[in-house]
Structure 1
């Protein structure tokens, strides 16, 4: 029970960091440069420039309405992390917009890139922890229920329309183009972060000290493994082979341990496209 609580607390703490990064990217780089991004944040930014209402307030109101729509259409299937994400995002946007009134950087293109990077990295962190900030993904799920349209296409269409609306606010094409650039940077950064965070490797380890290595992998990295019997064809001797799959970031401690106890071990490492099961991704097919 204690371990589960610590794990959940850590997950929410990491999510909070991601939400802070996203909010800082919007309020410190995009809004001061009058760049409209995608999603509900983009809608809230448009409302801010038209009416003066702070983005945090309209962001919370719009997401609340979307959640009510989703509950009516899809049922009460939204988790606590979604409510937490949109609530904290609303709070951070409101507070930061009060504290940050001018752009940190004078160059509008640099603001576009930095804002997109921070927003994409923040959302990637949130998504990696199983969280969500609500927004246009709710619209996508509702539309997908009634029409055979992929959620990705719906979200892309929403972002294109939202960013395109900036032309009617500022009456200039360059702001709209910068908005599309920021949208691309956000999307690319999210994909890069998630792919890097979830990248796994498969390791084959041949060692006479396989028991000590197997215990280390099993107990210190909390990863499963399988020990196979084999025959070295050159020596005609029986050998033991460890096969394990770990996240890429978990490989370094294993290599250090191998070097420490058996520098002569033979190791093969391969990147794998997908790993499903306990401790990895959930099979959704």
Structure 2
């Protein structure tokens, strides 16, 4: 029988999430001041929109505004979307990240690590993707288009990150027309690195199909049910080589559950034959964990 560890209380989870969100907010501000502003880049989403407005007003109107004055108000509509469609606790954590990171960006010292714009785009994008992943694991997001992507991922089961990346081209085009094309082109590198890091580290809303051939199918199904709350389908067939009856379990689980599940399956049956492939689209009843 699979033993369950003592579940984390809601208070413990909230404290852990707040600490992660606080760390994320500091990293966001550091990244903006150290890489983005030094390189004159335009990050994706509403952060890029905010910087486009700030730099445009400074260049063409001589008006100098702080980052928080622009970034917090333009996030009000995405925050409303999050509150109504995604989850109240998720939205509150995200709002905390938005406000704290904005204020820290205004008040934290600006540190220059390098003036090489390519290195800035590369490492800045990696840092940005990492901190977005941290916030997502902390049941929060960094604001703006993250809410939109989370909405489509959680409610529709659609991976929207690449579409958000494509939408950022509009902001980069405006930035190129206003400030020249070199920094917007480097910003594409920054945004691409961000997207790839998120795809690598945060896979909750991606799904994979498991095909498991084992003589201990009942025990393996119990593990799948307890660990993932997903069902499985049992198929019976004949092994072509030995002409013996074989049992195969077919189950679809979230990608971030696969590693833990495989470890438990191999404990039960080291000789189990397991085939895993990426699930591009799901139609039908599939258990998705609540964001809150």
The TM-score normalised by the length of structure 2 is 0.65
CA distance in structure 1 between the aligned counterparts of 2:41 and 2:251, rounded to whole angstroms:
47
Q: CA deviation at 1:89?
A: 1.8
2:39 is matched with which residue: 16, 33, 43?
A: 33
Name the counterpart of 1:147.
none
1:160 is matched with which residue: 147, 172, 192?
A: 172
Query: Is the Cα contact below 8 Å between 1:18 and 1:124 reproduced in 2?
Result: no
CA distance in structure 2 between the aligned counterparts of 1:3 and 1:253, rounded to whole angstroms:
18
Rg larger in structure: 1
- SS of the counterpart of 2:39? coil
CA distance in structure 2 between the aligned counterparts of 1:129 and 1:47, rounded to whole angstroms:
30
Query: Is the Cα contact below 8 Å between 2:42 and 2:187 reproduced in 1?
Result: yes
Name the counterpart of 1:178.
186
Query: Is the Cα contact below 8 Å between 1:19 and 1:85 reproduced in 2?
Result: no
Specify whether residues 135 and 210 from structure 1 end up closer, same or farther in structure 2 by C-alpha distance, changes over 3 A only: closer
Specify whether residues 21 and 278 from structure 1 end up closer, same or farther in structure 2 by C-alpha distance, changes over 3 A only: farther
CA RMSD of aligned residues (A): 4.3
Query: Is the Cα contact below 8 Å between 1:36 and 1:166 reproduced in 2?
Result: no
CA distance in structure 2 between the aligned counterparts of 1:238 and 1:78, rounded to whole angstroms:
46
Cα deviations across residues 119-164 of structure 1 (Å, max 9, x unaligned)? 234345556887555446899xxxxxxxxxxx86994354125523
User: How many residues are matched?
Assistant: 261
2:118 aligned with 1:118, yes or no?
no
Cα deviations across residues 195-215 of structure 1 (Å, max 9, x unaligned)? x45443322223222233222
Name the counterpart of 2:97.
88
Tell me, which stretches of 5 or more residues in structure 2 are unaligned?
1-6, 149-162
Name the counterpart of 1:143.
none
Tell me, which stretches of 5 or more residues in structure 1 are unaligned?
140-150
Q: CA deviation at 1:268?
A: 3.1
CA distance in structure 1 between the aligned counterparts of 2:147 and 2:252, rounded to whole angstroms:
34
Query: Is the Cα contact below 8 Å between 2:49 and 2:171 reproduced in 1?
Result: no
CA distance in structure 1 between the aligned counterparts of 2:257 and 2:165, rounded to whole angstroms:
35
Q: CA deviation at 1:188?
A: 4.6
CA distance in structure 2 between the aligned counterparts of 1:44 and 1:99, rounded to whole angstroms:
18
Query: Is the Cα contact below 8 Å between 2:50 and 2:70 reproduced in 1?
Result: yes
Q: CA deviation at 1:18?
A: 5.0
CA distance in structure 1 between the aligned counterparts of 2:282 and 2:21, rounded to whole angstroms:
23
Question: Which sits farther off after the overlay, 88-97 or 8-17?
Answer: 8-17
